[in-house]
Each structure stands twice: as structure tokens, then as C-alpha cells.
Amino acid sequence: QVQLVESGGGLVQAGGSLRLSCAASGRTVSNYAMAWIRQAPGKEREFVAIISWGGATTLYASSVKGRFIISRDNAKNTVYLQMNSLKPEDTGVYFCAARSTVAVTTNYDYWGQGTQVTVSS
């Protein structure tokens, strides 16, 4: 089992920045690709970004590419999402998730409980 706990969400004005963190524990998390998925009110979950176990490969949704940066520190078992130039449409619950391989998907083996991000206009 892998346990994931997100933090860092909050309320920010459009154009601002936030950094989300995901602390992982349990099985060897460095063996997993880690991702951020978000869900806006009344909408389905949406892929945001994913990073390979070693950090060499990252993939982003087109809607966040150039504004968000995913990174990981395996020594700290933590994954980050730096979010810049935030827009109101970035509002939603952001989930940390883990799977064995890198893919643009919302299908993951493990999920965190989510952290709310609200961007005001």
C-alpha cells in the first residue's frame, strides 16, 4: 500500500502562484510514477501532470503546460506541483496519485484525499 497526503492548497488571485506538496509513505514510492489530477465542481477528473520514478520524464496537460512544473524528491518521498500564472479555470480539488508507469491518464493505483485550490478573478 501507498499512502498519499496532499498539502499546499488555498485561495489565490488570478495570476498568482501556489505550490502543492504530496507526501508519500508505504511501499517504495520511488518505484512509482507520480501525478497530479484535478477535479472542478461538476466535472470529471482531469489529468494535470505526471513524473516518472526517476524524474527524467514529465508530461503535462496542454492547459497547464508552461505554467505548472511537477517535480519530486525521492529522498523525502515528496512530489511537488508548482503552479504559476493561475487562472480561475484552474480551480478545483487537486489529487496526488501513483501508478507503475508514465501515462496521460486518470487511472491510478493509489490516490490522496485531495487539496482544494481556488483561484479568484
Percentage of the chain with pLDDT > 90? 94
**pLDDT class for 71, splitting at 50, 70, 90?**
very high
Residue 70 has pLDDT above 90, yes or no: yes
State the pLDDT at residue 28. 74
pLDDT tens string 53-66 = 999 999 999 999 99
- At 27 the pLDDT is 73
**How open is the CA angle 78-69-105, to the nearest 5 degrees?**
80
| pLDDT tens per residue, range 17-35 | 999 999 999 877 778 999 9
